[in-house]
Amino acid sequence: MDFLRDFPTLAPRDQARFKAVVTRLWAGEVIMPGSPMRPDPDWSFVERYHPLVASYLDFGDWQLDFRHKPPMARAVHRSAKLRANLNKFQSMVTLALRIAYHEQMGATHDREDCLVRVAELRDRLHQEGLPTHQLSARKLRDALRVLARHQLVRIPRGFRALEDEEMTVTSVMEVVLPENLAAYRAMLARYASTPDTKQRTEGGAETDAVADSGTHEEDSDGDDEVDESVEAEDEIEEDSDADD
């Protein structure tokens, strides 16, 4: 499909749906099928018209990452300049959850959801060397809220990161961090032991990193956190002013 040729032929209702889908993609959302009880109509539209959406995104040097396994659609910029930047603690939480996702879901994906209790996440991070005072409920809650904005996890309304609360690790996690468990375990251990080292991981490879330019904001723990951009790219980057 070609946007200039085919978009005018859509029914007005489909044109409105097209605009809604593109707005979500540009806002950094990952469009997924939803649940059987609450299916996402935008997913059905993308599934049918993804070549048309891809043709439109191409004008701005974006591409549509559309796949059926796991089922999702997201917009990715070809220059890779627009990324989600995570501070050190958020990166460690992401890596710990990626490992938990692999251990629960396995290669067969015979489970529908990957549920992780806050107590389990805290234990994993503590075993890697983080002291208890760095694993407060507020700190975990704030980190998980950042991951939830990128749809890496789902947390319930009113989530406080109490021991018995659960989060859902979504299938977006395995797209953002393709399977390389040995590398992720090594990175997690290194992050815990070298808090002042700035590193970037991309698909499991390590390179020197310079934080992307962008708006900075203070999080609730006073860390200097790079504002999340529109794409949850497959990268974890430490902020130089991240937590100790």
The mean per-residue pLDDT over the stretch 138-160 comes to 93
pLDDT given for residue 95 in this prediction: 93
pLDDT band at 243 (very low <50, low <70, confident <90, very high): very low
pLDDT given for residue 113 in this prediction: 73
Residue linked to tokens 């990626």 = 98
Q: For residues 20 and 59, what is the distance between their CA atoms, to the nearest angstrom? A: 18
Which one has a higher pLDDT value, 5 or 223? Answer: 5
Burial category of 207 from C-beta neighbours within 10 Å (exposed 0-12, middle 13-18, buried 19 and up): exposed
Instruction: For the chain, give the longest Cα–Cα distance.
Output: 60
Q: For residues 92 and 74, what is the distance between their CA atoms, to the nearest angstrom? A: 24
pLDDT given for residue 242 in this prediction: 44
Burial category of 7 from C-beta neighbours within 10 Å (exposed 0-12, middle 13-18, buried 19 and up): middle
Phi and psi at residue 137, to the nearest 5°? -60, -40
CA atoms 91, 195, 165, 96: torsion sign = positive
pLDDT given for residue 84 in this prediction: 64
Peptide bond before 70: cis, by omega within 30 degrees of 0?
yes
CA within 13 Å, CB half, 64: 24
CB 95 within 8 A of CB 236: yes
- Domains identified in the chain and CATH numbers: 3-77 (1.10.10), 88-237 (no CATH)
Buried b (16+ CB within 10 A) or exposed e, 210-242: ebbeeeeeebeeebebbebbbbbbbbbbbbeeb
Alpha-carbon distances of 225 from 13, 20, 27, 78, 195, rounded to whole Å: 40, 30, 19, 24, 15
pLDDT given for residue 89 in this prediction: 92
Q: Model-level pTM greater than 0.75?
A: no
